[in-house]
Structure 1
C-alpha cells in the first residue's frame, strides 16, 4: 500500500507522494490522456536532478521519455527517432546559445514539432519574445508554478498538433 507523506521537493516546493524510493507529484492522473499514452517526449536538460524529476513524472503519465543532456545529444536523437514533443531547457552546458541554437535547428528540421521551453536562467520579456520568434510553442519558468501546468500544456500541445504516439 502506498503511503502519502508531505515531503517537499527542494526545487519545486510541492507535495510529493512516496512510492518506495521514488516520489511523484500528487494528482498526476488528471493529466494522463488516453490518446497520448505511449507518446514519445524528448527532455533536453543538462541538470541531472531535473532530468530525473521530469523522467519520473512523464513516465508516470505514460509517456515514452527520451533524455538528452546536451544540444548535440538532442540533435543526434532527433535525427534517429521521432518524438511527439520536446521540453527544452535553454541553458545547456553552461551556455545560453546552445539552447537557442538547438531551438532554431529544431524549427528548421522538424517544423510543427511542439517545443516547450522550461528554463530558469532566462526570465525576461526579451527571452520570452525571442523564444516565441524562434518557434517555441510555450515558455515556462522553472520553479515559478506547479509542474502540473507544464504537463497540462504538454498534453494540450500534443493533442492540438495531433502528435500523440509519434
Structure 2
C-alpha cells in the first residue's frame, strides 16, 4: 500500500517573520460577532508588528498596521476601526503613544484601545495610560498573547464595536 505524500506547505514571503504560535492549551476567546473586525496595530518594532498582524489575521480579524502616530491617525480617520492595539513608545518620542491615546479619546471616545508596552512598566505610566482612557494595559512578554487577544475580543463585544452588521 502506497502512503500518499503530504500536501506541500505554503511558503511565506521572505520578508515575513513568523514568531512562535500561541502555546498549546491556551484558548483564545473569539466570538463570531468580532470575526472580520478591523483592528489597528500601532507598533514600531517590526517583529512584534508582524506577530500581531499574522496572529490577528489567523484569529479572523482584519488587521491594519501602522508604525507611527500620524499614520495611525490617518487610518483612524479613513477606516472603520473596531479596536486598537497601541505601543506607548513609538519612534517619534517617548510620549508619542500617550499623545495618540489622548487624540483617540478626543476623536473616537468609545473605541477600545489596548496598550501593549515594554518600556513603560512603572505604576505611574500605567496609571497615566488608564487616566487617558486605555481600555487595558499589558506589558509585552509578561502575559501570554492569548490573554491579549481574548481581552481584545471581550472589549469589542463590550463596546459593541465588532464587525459591521454584528
TM-score interval (norm. to shorter): 0.7 to 0.9
TM-score by length of 1: 0.84
- Aligned residue in 1 for 2:96: 98
Runs of 4+ in 1 over 3 A off after TM superposition: 18-23, 26-30
Alignment partner, residue 68 of structure 1: 66
Which structure has the bigger radius of gyration? 2
User: What TM-score, normalized by structure 2, do the two folds share?
Assistant: 0.84
1:29-84 CA distance string (max 9 Å, x none): 64332111100000000000000000011001100000000001101111111100
User: More strand by proportion, 1 or 2?
Assistant: 1
Q: What value does the CA root-mean-square deviation take over the aligned residues?
A: 2.0
In the TM superposition, what are the counterparts of 1:13-92 in structure 2 within 5 Å? 22=18, 23-27=20-24, 30-92=28-90
Gaps of 5+ in 1: 3-17
1:145 aligns with 2:143: yes
Q: Which runs of 5+ in 2 are unaligned?
A: 1-5, 13-17
* Distance change >3 Å, CA 32–CA 94, structure 1 → 2: same
Contact 1:104 1:135 (C-alpha < 8 Å) held by counterparts: yes
Q: Distance in 2 between matches of 1:120 and 1:30?
A: 22
SS at match of 2:133: coil
Aligned positions, number: 151
Structure 1 residues 95-134: aligned runs within 5 Å? 95-134=93-132
Q: CA deviation at 1:20?
A: 5.7
